[in-house]
Structure 1
């Protein structure tokens, strides 16, 4: 039975009770005849741990034998060397062509010699026979400097960002030969991007809300057919390598520097970082590899008695799985690659009274583990075929050269295991299940906007998001009536339940229809009000978010509806209302927020949302602006504020007092009241230029990376901001940083003892 017939049946109204009875009987018969297999992962017996594995390269076929997965799951090779070399991320276009970014100069020896050469590539891979394995490869873009972000748009179109740059470049293959032949900068930022390459932006994620997000930068983008619009948003979480979203556009961040596997998913990113400690179950950060981990930066303190990694440290490339060709109990789970520990964690995303909580899906076991020391999972992603893909950089050294220098804990291990010799390879895998056949390649690029509408309710989240993106890029306004009709159809869930049609989630279909309308510039107030009472709470949440443009304009007629939504049975709906009301400065908004604050003071999420919304402003930044209003260093302080929140915040925390770990200790020492910050400016600059190793005030925080690759003004600005919050004078770009850089001949990290003795 096709969908249009189902709609007509359900919408058909009759007073004839006999007809209604017949329909009800048919519904019952169909629903009872269809049974879905229930999948419950069986605990698999963890294999004996290989404490001291060989570091020798294994062939792709040999590596497949090194993996351990739960019963029923299999791992398949999609591509390997020589087709790909040093892969770090991937993305598909609407027809399933796979783009792979390679960092071909990354750590080619223990010192990272030649890292900044512009010889890296982006490949285009195609599976021509539909067997799931790539068999055609072209160099889509050559001569790049460590490409780190890619976003496919239309046919042969790719947006790219390179390391040490904020710029976004639009490449296009106009003659369909698999090689880009035109290039245009669509976003530029005057300054060169500073910081170690591990601590720069990742992402270019086209979110459900039609903005494109990255991890570090406080900027988001909207892509139109002929232009890119940027918008500054200073409250966003800042992660490192990897960015993913769930069905509602909630993004999940991670940071290796802060050893934080997952955060920022307590609310949509534009409302700020909400990451309470309760978001992770107790013991979540304890890891369960199956191979000894000799090359961990923290040394022995980061190892268990059996020699395996005891805590997340290299987390990267996480993914909320939203595919349809693996067991349904896997949908919505978070997968976290750990390249240092050579495993991938599967986390269940549970709901505790409106608070998302992550729990390991297995007891003292990981979803995927390998005994191959060169297995380096750095990215994971839901594929258009409905399976889970994994990017394996497959190499010896995974840490960047700032962490492998003389004096580091891992340099002797790298030499002993000869890990520095293992370069120039790479693999892409997909995880499948014995009970499912992966889909074939999609064909979305040449479909009209009207034809793409049906994919807004596809079971695979990749299809839904890709269809939404392509419709918006086509800018075909003739389909707006169709999208409105689709978003108004509240009956899909009834059909899905009774007729056993599990091809679509009709609530999600309505959500994508609404956001697609937003992307086309059509936010209908009447429709939004209608959706306030949609039977699916996720649609009600979407309607509240879309009403923010009216809230910002001070349209108080919506408050009659908000008063009703404040009593909604769903705490998630109430929480979204608390978040959105921050955009309205009226007394009605404040009054309603205070009522919610009082009623939900025991609810972690709503209590946080009401507290933040009642601020109605960025108190930190406003206080800073007032503080420096008449100071000549004002511009430098504000630039430093941005730099700090892009780089330093992940270790030193938003308040400069050090970011707390799960056990209460700090990732990095406090900068408030620090003798290094308040002391000699020259020594502070030297510390920042070369980095720091060893104890700080009796505590070993690991390694502070050198920042000498950044320009003098960059270093001066961030240090001026930090010193301003310590009531100290500014650091000048040339007088303090430039001269110190010229005189500083040191190549290695400082220890505090050596720094104090230095002239």
Structure 2
């Protein structure tokens, strides 16, 4: 790997260009010239760059623009007019390529025409087997922003929001696909919002389920309808898969995120947190292009561009592929290839797995002009790689949308819009190319696979093919086959080829033919990898005794196998298994991945664990990172988990949680521990779609005295519950009718513009955007919140202990985000996910908008810090008899003859002064300062009138 040397000037001479066979008149200005403008402090750095003219290259010219790793070459597969605006490709069992054409995307810089029905799905034909496409066949047209396709044995799946279409075929015969008979299987990518942030991918997993990016669901087609299950939320655009069926994905600003273990048990058990799922695997992301990149969305911000004018870090990573072909040299097998369209390149990230440890290396290559570059890079600004795929021939295919505009209008900055128009990057439209990267060390065979005509025996033999596309396609065809193949598949389980065994196992699973006999054979085999696949595929065929026997010999188990055994044990748990797990808690919670499995396995037994652990809790709070501290944190997570079970609204669970509350109420001499468990309950209310749980009766815990030191914590936990006759249905002041209407609009704006990054439940997206559900800027700092919505926010920032260095664009330029709209959005954020904040008025938004009217860049955390917050406290400022209330820019303070200090806001008009256990509730006048305040201590509650403003 080369080390990049930072320079102030990097120019490619015309002689060098001509030596590479390039068109010097077109490509010569590839350099950064540090002009006198750079010395002008008022000129942003990106405007001092001299990018090449934005000339439209022919496919032949673009081919000459590529710089590729030594030992590889790039070949053209297809170009316009046979393909336009491609975003995704796939192949059928006979090697025919299918492509999605998203022709309506960004026809101008304002997104006009995105709803035009001009998209298509096409089948491309290579009639002479020379590796280049000769004709196109339109499978389905007049589509609005189609985004994904997948060949299944029943036909062709096409994702066109809001539908997932099935174009049916005869079984395992893609040549008979008939889109005139298409049927909708249900909703797909139907959430409002940016086209960049909608469900996509449609990747067939090793386990015979179809998985999606920007999504938390998988599905199978079963007798014409979809069976749907919940998954961990994955990525933004595209999914890659390794030989064990684990997925890799990314967000715009990170190259590789992935899963270290199967997610299904933890997801069903509502385990939180889940380290190792949706885990960022590569840190310190950088990209190394071969041209200056002023045309990126935030080029005007410091450090977005290097000193030589190239993009520093990814802003448009997508479409990752885990290379699993046989045409590249062996050392490339399992490497990740990541398109980065803003930097006009494809990066190579080598991924090494050692059980539950994954290491990544971003491989770069020496470049004579720039010092260091990525695996594949172009000097052509319109090279827009959005997806990579391993083909039937073992080559790496690169889907090139070939266009100037790659950023959706919702996030398009004014600076980039100006540059696009000035440099003519908005035209032309309707171009597109697909490239093939080929190793020069081995031949490539372009002949068609013709697996639709393969015999059962030939398909069975294909399960050991060195190219994963062949293995996976054979598995799909065998799963759907009506032939009696069980004995042949069982025989494959004795193969010496691990990959063949794995595919045979999952083929049997898909056919519903896996039995206890095969499972026992895998256990006896002793191969850790194969046993793990057996646990995933057939946990129901294991029994508790066998699982415990394996676990009791854990010294010889790999970490991942031990975890898999515990996951499976949770599905068979009796008293014996529970006792084993309970006795192992102190050991397992020291490892974050074993803790996830343990927490999953104990699902449904949370209260019992809490009760039986009572004797292990010290009287005082333990030291951080001590064994006792780890135990308390685990028990707190179990408390939260108990509220998040699938049947959280059921009567039976309500009764069980009543028992949980009784346990918490009866904890003696350890208020710190009560507070931890109550906080676990409160955290559950911040989970998306949480609904308050109905208890059979009011619980005495919530009838606490005002002098209870945990008054605030108990009040927060109270929000999780209700009961018949409950008079505090949400612990919130009712909204006015106008605020209610604005909040409804705000919810719609959030769904359309924010949920794609921050999640429909406000929990955030790994590598893309942080959680909003417990953000202090939302809960207690409306003035900061409004500024962020108007102008955006640029990292680094810290949210819930995690560092983020991404960028959120401002929304003030979008017509829907007028004062009423932002008021509704802010109110929605402050009244959801367990929040009980006050509404934000349009007048307040208008005031902040006026104060910040001259701002054109995002805010930073440092700039927001001195901004006064809670300015609505001003209505409470003044003298009320012997009490004086003042506002210090953040808090409301009280001063009396015998006490003074800051108060804690309990509700929008209720404050608590802890040193004296006194609460103050202000009467509110919407058009004037509060006329009076109610003061309540342990003796009485009395009203005090305002005496001075």
Return the offset for 1:122. Answer: 0.5
Q: Partners in 2 of 1:203 and 1:719 — Cα distance?
A: 34
Cα pair distance change 1:149/1:651, threshold 3 Å: closer
Question: How much has 1:513 moved relative to structure 2?
Answer: 0.5
Supply the distance in 2 between the matched residues of 1:647 and 1:275 (Cα, whole angstroms).
Answer: 29
CA pair 84-629 structure 1, distance change in 2 beyond 3 A? farther
Determine the structure 1 residue equivalent to 2:453.
Answer: 446
Say if 2:539 is the partner of 1:548: yes
> Which region of structure 1 is more displaced relative to structure 2, 441-450 or 364-373?
441-450
Aligned partner (choices 461, 465, 471) of residue 464 of structure 1: 471
For residues 232 and 205 of structure 1, what CA distance do their matches in structure 2 show? 15
For residues 41-56 of structure 1, the aligned pairs below 5 Å read: 50-51=31-32, 52-56=51-55
Alignment of 1:322-471 (within 5 A): 322-352=324-354, 354-362=356-364, 365-404=373-412, 408-439=414-445, 440-471=447-478
How many matched pairs?
Answer: 662
Are 1:240 and 2:348 matched, yes or no? no
- Displacement of 1:371: 0.9
- Structure 2 gaps of 5+ residues are 13-29, 33-50, 268-273, 366-371, 605-637, 646-683, 685-689, 694-719, 732-739, 798-805, 847-852, 860-866, 873-926, 928-949
Pair 395,444 (structure 1): closer, same or farther in 2 beyond 3 Å: same
Partner of 1:33: none
Task: Indicate the larger mover: 525-534 or 571-580.
Answer: 571-580
The whole-number CA distance in structure 2 between the counterparts of 1:239 and 1:315 is 10
Greater CA deviation, 651-660 or 416-425?
Answer: 651-660
Which of 812, 823, 833 pairs up with 1:725?
A: 833
**Partners of 1:749 and 1:227 in 2: how far apart?**
52
Counterpart Cα distance in 1 of 2:774 and 2:278 = 23
Query: In 2, Cα distance between the equivalents of 1:125 and 1:468?
Result: 24
Q: Pick from 513, 523, 526: which aligns with 1:522?
A: 513
Give the Cα separation in 1 of the matches to 2:338 and 2:796: 33
Distance 1:456 1:361 in 2: 31
Structure 2 CA distance, aligned partners of 1:656 and 1:587? 38
Residue 486 of structure 1: aligned partner: 492
Paired position in structure 1 for 2:681: none
Task: Note if contact 1:279-1:357 (Cα within 8 Å) is conserved in structure 2.
Answer: no
Task: Give 3-state SS (helix, strand or coil) of 1:185's partner.
Answer: strand
Q: Does 1:672 align with 2:774?
A: yes
Instruction: Choose the corresponding residue for 1:252, options 242, 245, 248.
Output: 248
Asked whether the 8 Å contact 1:254–1:261 carries over to 2, the reply is: yes
**CA 1:82–1:44: 2 relative to 1, 3 Å:** farther
Query: Is 1:230 aligned to residue 195 of structure 2?
Result: no
TM-score (normalizing by structure 1) = 0.76
Q: Give a deviation string over 1:228-271, Cα, whole Å, max 9, x none.
A: 332231x5123211012100100112112xx2322132223434
Report the CA distance between 1:749 and its aligned residue: 11
**Conserved 8 A contact 1:86-1:102:** yes
Higher relative contact order (CA 8 A, sep 6+): 1
Q: Hey, what's the Cα distance between the residues in 2 that align with 1:697 and 1:368?
A: 29
Q: Assess if the C-alpha contact under 8 Å between 2:778 and 2:829 holds in 1.
A: no
- The question of 1:202 aligning with 2:161 is answered no
Matches within 5 A, 1:678-697: 692-695=790-793
Summarize deviations over 1:683-734 as a string: whole Å, max 9, x none: 99x999xx64245999794315699999x99x99998686233432899xxx
CA contact (8 A) 2:258 2:277 kept: no
2:158 maps to what in 1?
Answer: 160
SS at match of 2:517: helix
**Larger CA Rg, structure 1 vs 2:** 2
TM-score, scaled to structure 2 = 0.62
CA shift, 1:546, in A, is 2.3
Quote how far apart the aligned CAs of 1:585 are.
Answer: 3.8
CA contact (8 A) 1:73 1:433 kept: yes
Q: Deviations over 1:527-568 (max 9, x none)?
A: 1121023254321211121232246xxx42333543367344
Counterpart in the other structure of 2:296: 296
Is the CA contact 2:810–2:858 (under 8 Å) kept in the aligned structure 1? no
**Contact kept? 2:279, 2:766, Cα under 8 Å:** no
The residue number in structure 2 matching 1:703 is 809
1:65 lines up with 2:64 in the alignment: yes
Counting only pairs closer than 5 Å after superposition, residues 726-741 of structure 1 correspond to structure 2 as 726-728=834-836
SS of equivalent to 1:419: coil
Q: Distance in 2 between the 1:751 and 1:350 partners?
A: 38
Please state how far the C-alpha of 1:351 moved relative to its aligned partner. 2.6
**CA shift in 2, pair 1:655/1:378, >3 Å:** same
Is the 1:396–1:420 contact (alpha carbons within 8 Å) kept by the matching residues of 2?
A: yes
Q: Once structures 1 and 2 are overlaid, which stretch shifts more, 595-604 or 562-571?
A: 595-604
- Retained in 1: the 8 A contact 2:167–2:177? no
Any gaps of 5 or more consecutive residues in structure 1? 1-40, 494-505, 741-745
CA distance in 2, matches of 1:589, 1:47: 68
Identify the residue that residue 559 of structure 1 maps to in structure 2: 547
Give 1:469 shift. 1.0
Root-mean-square deviation (CA, aligned residues, Å) is 4.5
Contact 1:202 1:214 in 2 (8 A): yes
Contact 2:464–2:471 (CA<8 Å) still a contact in 1?
Answer: yes
